[in-house]
Amino acid sequence: MKITVHPLFLAVGALSLLFGGFPIFIICVLTALMHECGHMFCAERLGFECTKISLMPYGAAAVCDIEGISPADELRLALAGPAVNFFMCVAVAGLWWFVPDAYAYTDILFYSNSAMLVLNLLPAYPLDGGRAAKCLMVKFLKPKTADAVLRALNLCVVAVLVTLFFTVSANFSVLAVAALLGCSAFRKAPPARRIDFAARKKKRGREVKYIILDEKATFKDALKYLDSGKFLVFQFYAEKYLDEITEDELFEMLKDGSLYDPVLQSVQRN
């Protein structure tokens, strides 16, 4: 896993150290990393891959290869990060219930996770709430219409944040988020990239592991079993043995197919 650091992230860290807010900065960074780990764990379980985490001045962002992902799976992926923050809030609040004195040591952890949860559930791209909203909208609207509605939601959220800044609290973090979402409303989302499993460097001396799959298993189902330390052979059964392929053959067939295609049908076509 590659971790990249934006120069402005280091600048924010240096300023927090200079003005006495470094402990809060570290807790916020760890909160953001836990959030992104939720996305990464979910992506791996769904058969996709996250290649790196970028530490930005406004938080962290996991870069994942999710070309061809279904709206239902993308919805799960979008909500996985906020789910981590939610469970952290519940865990810390539960700790306060049993050990009230712990509040003095864990209040920042609770509030940072609460802020991360609320922020990412806003229905604006590129936040998780915006991604989730789009996944729901494409079930009823055409993709272009869904994009237009999402841009309008972005601008509405920006208007609300700017209003809060001038009427409730002059917190420049709120203004920074508004600026980010305002720019995102007019920026085209980068295209997703397909994972090229076949291009990965092969390790010698790997143990062979047999995986038994149902005849209706998809490529997505098979990819869940990938193990860098083992060479997989997939065997397909109904009531009897049907066929088998190696992981190399699986990767080659995936180049021309979708993650949601049944593997055995692709085998029979080839």
Do residues 96 and 145 share a domain? no
Over residues 217-256, the pLDDT tens digits come to 888 888 888 887 888 899 998 888 888 889 888 888 887 7
**Residue 96 corresponds to which tokens in the numbers above?**
């306060």
Do residues 44 and 150 share a domain? no
Could you say which of 167, 194, 221 is where a domain stops? 194
How does strand 207-214 pair with strand 2-5?
A: unpaired
Over residues 69-78, the pLDDT tens digits come to 888 899 999 9
Do residues 35 and 133 share a domain? no
Over residues 161-181, the pLDDT tens digits come to 889 888 887 777 788 788 878
Do residues 22 and 111 share a domain? yes
Do residues 19 and 102 share a domain? yes
- Range of the structural domain that residue 248 is part of: 197-269
Top pLDDT among 72 and 186 is at 72
Which pLDDT value is given to residue 75? 93
Mean pLDDT lowest for which of 15-24, 150-159, 181-190, 228-237? 181-190
How does strand 241-246 pair with strand 230-237?
A: antiparallel
Do residues 76 and 175 share a domain? no
Do residues 114 and 127 share a domain? no
Identify the band that residue 132 occupies on the pLDDT scale cut at 50, 70 and 90: very high
Could you say which of 61, 91, 121 is where a domain stops? 121
| Model confidence, pTM | 0.76
Mean pLDDT of the chain, nearest integer: 84
Number of domain units in the chain: 3
DSSP H helical ranges for 47-195: 71-98, 103-120, 128-137, 143-167, 172-184
Q: What's the maximum distance between 2 C-alpha atoms anywhere in the chain? A: 70
**Identity (one letter) of the amino acid at 79?**
L
Q: In Å, what is the CA distance from 46 to each residue of 41, 133, 191, 216, 225?
A: 9, 20, 19, 17, 11
Could you say which of 121, 147, 168 is where a domain stops? 121
Do residues 117 and 29 share a domain? yes
Task: Please work out, in degrees rounded to the nearest 5, the angle formed at the alpha carbon of residue 79 by the alpha carbons of 189 and 139.
Answer: 65
Do residues 263 and 203 share a domain? yes
